[in-house]
Structure 1
Amino acid sequence: MKNDYRDTVYGVPKKNIINEKKALEERIKIEHPKVKIIYNQINKKDSEYNKQFRNIYNNKCAYCGITTDVISSDLFEVDHFICESSFNGDSINAGKISNLVLSCKKCNRAKKDFIWSEAYSQRLNVDDDSITELFYRDEDYSIRIEQEFIADNIICSFHRKLKLDEEIRRLDYLLMSMYGFYNKYSDDKNIEKILKCIILLQKKRNEL
Structure 2
Amino acid sequence: MVNDYRATKYCPVIENLDYKKRQVVDMIKIDHPRAVDMHTYIRKNEKAYKTEFMKAYNFKCAYCGASIDILPKEMFEIDHFIYLKSFTKKADAGYIENLVLACHPCNHQKCALPLPEEDRELLHPDTDKIMNTFKRDDQYYIVISQDHNANQTIKTFYKTLGLDGEIHRLDYLLMNMIGLQRTLTNDSFAYSELGQAIDVLRQKRNMM
State TM-score, norm by structure 2. 0.95
CA–CA separation in structure 2 for the residues paired with 1:74 and 1:196: 25
**Cross-structure match for 1:111:** 110
Q: Which fold has the larger relative contact order, with Cα–Cα distance below 8 Å and residues 6 or more apart in sequence?
A: 1
Q: Which amino acid aligns with 2:11?
A: G
1:187 Cα deviation after fit: 2.4
Structure 1 gap segments, 5+ residues each: none
Residue by residue over 1:84-106, the C-alpha shift from the partner in whole angstroms, topping out at 9 and shown as x without a partner, is: 11113x22220111110100001
Number of aligned residue pairs: 206
CA–CA separation in structure 1 for the residues paired with 2:154 and 2:93: 22
**Cross-structure match for 2:176:** 177
The RMSD of aligned alpha carbons is 1.2
**Cross-structure match for 1:58:** 58
1:120 Cα deviation after fit: 1.7
CA–CA separation in structure 2 for the residues paired with 1:31 and 1:12: 30
8 Å CA contact 1:110–1:161 kept in 2: the answer is yes
Residue by residue over 1:93-148, the C-alpha shift from the partner in whole angstroms, topping out at 9 and shown as x without a partner, is: 20111110100001001100001111222121211222111010011010000112
**Cross-structure match for 2:12:** 12
Report 1:22-171 matches (<5 A): 22-88=22-88, 90-171=89-170
Q: Which amino acid aligns with 1:78?
A: I
CA–CA separation in structure 1 for the residues paired with 2:104 and 2:196: 27
Structure 1 consecutive aligned stretches of length 4 or more whose deviation exceeds 4 Å: none
Please say which of residues 25-34 and 165-174 is displaced more in the overlay.
25-34
CA–CA separation in structure 1 for the residues paired with 2:70 and 2:179: 11
State TM-score, norm by structure 1. 0.95
8 Å CA contact 1:111–1:161 kept in 2: the answer is yes
* 3-state DSSP of counterpart to 1:78: strand
The percent of aligned pairs where both chains have the same amino acid is 39
1:129/1:46 CA distance change after superposition, 3 Å: farther
